[in-house]
């Protein structure tokens, strides 16, 4: 929230959202002061073992999360983006302790929670909540909304002042639903309304940290902005801290204070939002950004270049040596192939893991010879106005270049999780991500 001008802009749509005052049942808790570290992650890993044969011997591992270092500050929104299969959901489940880490450390409010057992985790379950991607499968169809939103109170043995029913109805109102629908079932609600129910459930115990795993990607584009804006309003009102996961930069752009870009289980760039958008330093970030359409109608007529990455995302079972992105990077050199670049703060507030970053001093200036694959790694297409995309003059068109590689991140993942349920996306000549509708708080 800190000084994000887009966040303060309120559309007429959102003026209708009023958040009733907290009842006695859920009062604001004392936590770290605004801007202080709420969650700290060091060297976090999750390797899922691959077992084979009668004896179920381990023959390998899916390195879903492979050494993450970051912190989440109180009151901020940290956006996490990357192609499907890069480990975002696994990271979300690790920091909410729904998964046991393979290695590394997770600290919440300065306390080591990495290996807390069920009993030790009980108080933490109130403070850290998760909103799931699919509002259809995450709500039990046999339970009423009242039972679903009231479940956290029952699980934690908490009785809010005025009783559970009254508090649940207040929460329904908070998320913009009719409190009289308390006795209805999930199938009676639309996707957007169901996601509001999921949000109400996550807020029930007045958490400090909310991890939202692709909270709008299963929703209609027209509804996405409303739900994103609701999360934003709730953050301001309730002093929440968010980690919002998305495969689509256009979603996190509007709500994040800082953004972490993930590739194959690692963070490749972590920066405050404006720095990342104005001057991305990691080539992968640059490619992701170029796939985001320009939201300003005045600038849509202008031509812009889009970088389409060729080749598939490598498997997290045996990630490439050195820099994991070297098999798809147009700047890759021998150093990239052999030495893993550390995540360094190359500019104030901008951490990057790259030997040859954009917009900054070269970290391996002696190494100038490109790997042969690098020269073929991308295709640059020019898009502009209503013209269809065309191949840039310096690139030789190849038959497969019409494939929407970078513009279809979900489909290009080789190890994408089955639960993603991604919808098909438009071809390369179309913007790969939905145009932000007028409801989004765009202020260019």
* Least distance CB 394 / ligand SF4 (angstroms): 19
Strand segments (E) across 247-356: 258-263, 266-272, 304-309, 344-347, 350-352
CA distances from 391 to 231, 368, 384 (A): 40, 27, 12
Distance CA 94, CA 134 (A): 19
Question: From the list ligand ADP, ligand SF4, Mg ion, none, which binds 63 (C-beta under 5 to 8 Å, kind-based)?
Answer: none
Question: From the list Mg ion, ligand ADP, ligand SF4, none, which binds 415 (C-beta under 5 to 8 Å, kind-based)?
Answer: ligand ADP
Q: Is 223:196 a contact under the CB 8 Å cutoff?
A: no
Question: Which residue number is nearest to Mg ion in terms of Cβ?
Answer: 89
Assess 88 for contact with ligand ADP (CB under 6 A): yes
Cβ-based nearer residue to ligand SF4, 79 or 341 = 341
* Least distance CB 133 / Mg ion (angstroms): 7
Q: Is 76:257 a contact under the CB 8 Å cutoff?
A: yes
Assess 96 for contact with Mg ion (CB under 5 A): no
Angle at 280 between CA 276 and CA 283, to 5 degrees: 140
Instruction: Establish how many alpha carbons lie within 13 A of residue 127's alpha carbon, considering only the half-sphere containing its beta carbon.
Output: 18
* Least distance CB 146 / ligand ADP (angstroms): 31
Q: Is 323:333 a contact under the CB 8 Å cutoff?
A: no
CA distances from 192 to 47, 177, 220, 301 (A): 34, 11, 8, 32
Indicate which single residue of 192, 341, 409, 436 sits in contact with ligand SF4 (rule: CB under 6 A): 341
Cβ atoms within 10 A of the Cβ of 414, count? 12
For residues 343 to 372, the per-residue mask of contacts with ligand SF4, x marking binding by CB under 6 A and - elsewhere, is -----------xxx----------------
* Touching ligand SF4, residues 263-282 (CB under 6 A): 282
Q: Is 92:70 a contact under the CB 8 Å cutoff?
A: no
Cβ-based nearer residue to ligand ADP, 203 or 292 = 292
- As a whole number of angstroms, the longest Cα–Cα distance in the chain is 70
Indicate which single residue of 89, 193, 224, 241 sits in contact with Mg ion (rule: CB under 5 A): 89
Cβ-based nearer residue to ligand ADP, 272 or 420 = 420
Strand segments (E) across 87-154: 103-108, 111-112, 128-131
* Least distance CB 324 / ligand ADP (angstroms): 13
Indicate which single residue of 266, 331, 440, 441 sits in contact with ligand SF4 (rule: CB under 6 A): 331
* Least distance CB 197 / ligand ADP (angstroms): 22
Question: From the list ligand SF4, ligand ADP, Mg ion, none, which binds 354 (C-beta under 5 to 8 Å, kind-based)?
Answer: ligand SF4
Assess 307 for contact with ligand SF4 (CB under 6 A): no
- Main-chain dihedrals φ then ψ at residue 77, nearest 5 degrees: -115, 120
Distance CA 18, CA 25 (A): 19
Indicate which single residue of 89, 194, 325, 350 sits in contact with ligand SF4 (rule: CB under 6 A): 325
Distance CA 365, CA 268 (A): 20
* Least distance CB 248 / Mg ion (angstroms): 12
Question: What residues make contact with ligand SF4 under the rule CB under 6 A?
Answer: 282-283, 323, 325-326, 329, 331-332, 336, 341, 354-356
Q: Report the interface residues with ligand ADP, using CB under 6 A.
A: 48, 62, 64, 82, 84-90, 316, 415-417, 420
The residues binding Mg ion (CB under 5 A) are 88-89
């Amino acid at each position: 929230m800190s000084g994000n001008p887009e966040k303060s802009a309120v559309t007429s749509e959102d003026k209708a959202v009023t958040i009733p005052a907290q009842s006695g049942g859920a009062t604001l808790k004392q936590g770290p002061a605004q801007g202080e570290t709420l969650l700290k992650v060091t060297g976090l890993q999750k390797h899922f073992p691959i077992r084979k044969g009668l004896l179920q011997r381990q023959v390998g591992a899916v390195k879903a999360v492979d050494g993450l270092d970051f912190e989440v500050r109180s009151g901020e929104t940290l956006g996490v983006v990357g192609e499907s299969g890069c480990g975002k959901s696994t990271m979300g489940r690790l920091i909410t302790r729904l998964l046991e880490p393979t290695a590394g450390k997770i600290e919440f409010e300065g306390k080591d929670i990495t290996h807390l057992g069920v009993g030790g985790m009980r108080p933490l379950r109130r403070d850290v909540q998760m909103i799931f991607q699919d509002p259809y499968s995450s709500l039990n169809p046999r339970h009423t909304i009242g039972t679903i939103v009231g479940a956290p109170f029952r699980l934690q043995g908490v009785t809010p002042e005025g009783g559970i029913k009254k508090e649940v109805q207040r929460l329904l109102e908070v998320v913009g639903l009719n409190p009289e629908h308390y006795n209805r079932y999930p199938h009676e609600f639309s996707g957007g309304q169901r996601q509001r129910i999921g949000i109400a459930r996550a807020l029930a115990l007045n958490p400090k940290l909310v991890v939202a795993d692709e909270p709008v990607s299963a929703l209609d584009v027209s509804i996405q902005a409303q739900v994103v804006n609701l999360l934003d309003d709730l953050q301001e009102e309730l002093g929440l801290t968010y980690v919002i996961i998305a495969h689509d930069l256009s979603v996190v752009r509007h709500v994040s204070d800082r953004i972490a870009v993930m590739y194959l289980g690692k963070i490749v760039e972590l920066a405050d939002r404006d720095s990342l958008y104005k001057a991305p330093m990691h080539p992968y970030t640059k490619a992701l950004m170029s796939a985001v359409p320009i939201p300003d109608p005045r600038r849509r007529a202008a031509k812009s270049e889009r970088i389409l990455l060729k080749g598939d995302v490598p498997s997290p079972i045996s990630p490439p040596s050195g820099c994991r992105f070297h098999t798809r990077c147009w700047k890759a050199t021998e150093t990239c192939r052999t030495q893993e670049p550390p995540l360094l703060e190359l500019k104030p507030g901008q951490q990057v893991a790259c030997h040859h970053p954009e917009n900054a001093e070269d970290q391996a200036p002696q190494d100038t010879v490109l790997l042969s694959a690098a020269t073929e790694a991308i295709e640059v297409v020019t898009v502009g106005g209503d013209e269809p995309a065309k191949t840039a003059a310096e690139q030789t068109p190849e038959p497969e270049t019409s494939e929407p590689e970078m513009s279809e991140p979900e489909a290009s993942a080789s190890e994408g999780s089955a639960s993603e349920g991604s919808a098909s996306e438009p071809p390369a000549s179309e913007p790969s991500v939905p145009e932000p509708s007028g409801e989004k708080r765009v202020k260019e």
